[in-house]
Amino acid sequence: MLRYLKQLKLFFFVFAIVSGVIIYFIYSALYVEYPLPIYQPNRVDASLVDSTIQYKKKYHKIADFELINQNGETVTQDTYKDKIYVADFFFTTCQTICPIMTDQMFRVQQEILNDDEVMLLSHSVTPEIDSVAQLKRYAVEKGVNDKKWNLVTGDRKQIYDLARKSYLVVKDDNSEDYGMVHTENFALIDKNKQIRGLYNGVSPTSVDSLIQDIKRLKKEYQ
């Protein structure tokens, strides 16, 4: 009887191990981490998209640009060549959502600080106020790492066009001088200049998702 019980115990032990291995392989086969979507203008809130491209269903990419950062350096697409990056729009004198957005972007910066594949890019929607000197003061105050994060200013029309025709994250204020009402959105851009995610930049939970999606996106290039 004792021998029988020992054999039975051994059987259930082996059965449990084999079952665990089978369950693991079944789960691994069923769990597929799909690539992040590629955002197109026709699938984004129309209020954030210029009317000339609201119909566009594919092939949308970030347009070339030439702007000036907090150190007076020229920033172009080449600065972000072969990089994944997070973009947003803000202004330094904003007292509402911008400080929260900047704090959340700082969180992202800390996560990617030693990652050469990932950078950040913040565009001023009040370039006539946000001079290079003003951006530099703001960068120092907010702990911006110059190697990872560019705060940029430049031609108002160019910034407006980037916001509404490329990144799809800013509302038109219906004025005649390319006025913009920036939103809290962060845009995740891949190495092919495509939008791969849009996130609420004042929500820590949404920014947590952004940080995880950066890791997912990186796997596409491994």
Tens-digit pLDDT profile for residues 67-125: 999 999 999 999 999 999 999 999 999 999 999 999 999 999 999 999 999 999 999 99
Give residue 27's pLDDT: 41
Pair of tokens at residue 103: 């704090």
Using alpha carbons only, what angle is made at residue 41 by residues 105 and 35, rounded to the nearest 5 degrees? 65
| Residue ranges of E strands in the chain | 66-68, 74-76, 84-90, 118-124, 149-152, 170-172, 180-182, 185-189, 195-200
- Which of helix, strand or coil describes residue 171? strand
Q: Does domain 41-219 have CATH number 3.40.30.10?
A: yes
Sorted by where each begins, the domain ranges of the chain are 1-32, 41-219
Contacts of 135 (CB under 8 A, 6+ apart): 69, 70, 92, 124, 151, 152, 153
- What is the C-alpha to C-alpha distance for residues 16 and 49, in angstroms, rounded to an integer? 56
Question: By percentage, how much of the chain surpasses pLDDT 90?
Answer: 80
Burial 108-147 (b: 16+ CB within 10 A, else e): bbebbeeeeebbbbbbbbbbeebbbebbbebbeebebeee
Where does the pLDDT of residue 32 fall: very low under 50, low under 70, confident under 90, or very high at 90 and above? low
Is the pLDDT assigned to residue 1 strictly greater than 60?
Answer: no
Beta bridge partners of 170: 182
Hey, what amino acid is at 19?
S
Mean pLDDT, rounded, for 34-40: 95
142 touches 182 (CB < 8 A) = no
Is the pLDDT assigned to residue 43 strictly greater than 50?
Answer: yes
Give residue 31's pLDDT: 44
Pair of tokens at residue 218: 């990186």
Type and span of the H or E element at 56: none
**What's the pTM?**
0.85
Where does the pLDDT of residue 9 fall: very low under 50, low under 70, confident under 90, or very high at 90 and above? low
Give residue 17's pLDDT: 61
Mean pLDDT, rounded, for 62-70: 98
Type and span of the H or E element at 37: none
Give residue 99's pLDDT: 97
Hey, what amino acid is at 205?
T
Kind of pairing, strands 195-200 and 185-189? antiparallel
Where does the pLDDT of residue 29 fall: very low under 50, low under 70, confident under 90, or very high at 90 and above? very low
Give residue 5's pLDDT: 47
Give residue 28's pLDDT: 41
Contacts of 202 (CB under 8 A, 6+ apart): 97, 100, 101, 104, 184
**To 10 degrees, what angle do helices 204-219 and 98-112 make?**
40
Where does the pLDDT of residue 10 fall: very low under 50, low under 70, confident under 90, or very high at 90 and above? low
Give residue 111's pLDDT: 98
